[in-house]
Amino acid sequence: MNTYLFEHQYLDVTIKRLKAKIGHLAHRLFRLEGQKEKLTTHISSVVFGSKKLFKHQFTKKEFVQDHQSWKELFLAVRNKQVLISGRKDAAAGNFVFTYQPDTHDLHMTSLSGKVVTFSNVVFPYGQEQVNQTVVRCK
């Protein structure tokens, strides 16, 4: 109709929408940069058990009535330890797991032959012993 209505009904609304979109994108960039920094500095850990087992305390009838039995099962599954046995005839002591002390990478070969790499694996107790043993076996 006229320039006044065009400005207030279209331009002002469009400008407001674009400013909001820029704000959302800036916030997303801030969150993603924080996640990127966390991924480079944070050492992840192994978690045993599953969501399914955790939900059983609320959904399975025997565990709802007897919470202690669920807790014992849950704690047994979430033992927080992995035992990797070695072999003398393997190059690095094990055919499934291979540890690279210079890059701190742990390579695992699955049953299907796919190699999974865990980066930045550090042993809080005995890192030097692990490094010496791996270097000696090679």
Give tens-digit pLDDT for 81-105. 666 777 777 766 677 888 888 898 9
Q: Which of the 8 DSSP states describes residue 108?
A: E
pLDDT of residue 121: 86
Q: Sign (positive/negative) of CA torsion 92, 93, 97, 99?
A: negative
Does this model's pTM top 0.85?
A: no
Q: Which residues contact 12 (CB under 8 A, 6 or more apart)?
A: none
10 Å CB burial of residue 99 (0-12, 13-18, 19+) is: buried
Give tens-digit pLDDT for 29-63. 999 999 999 888 876 665 566 778 888 889 999 98
pLDDT of residue 31: 96
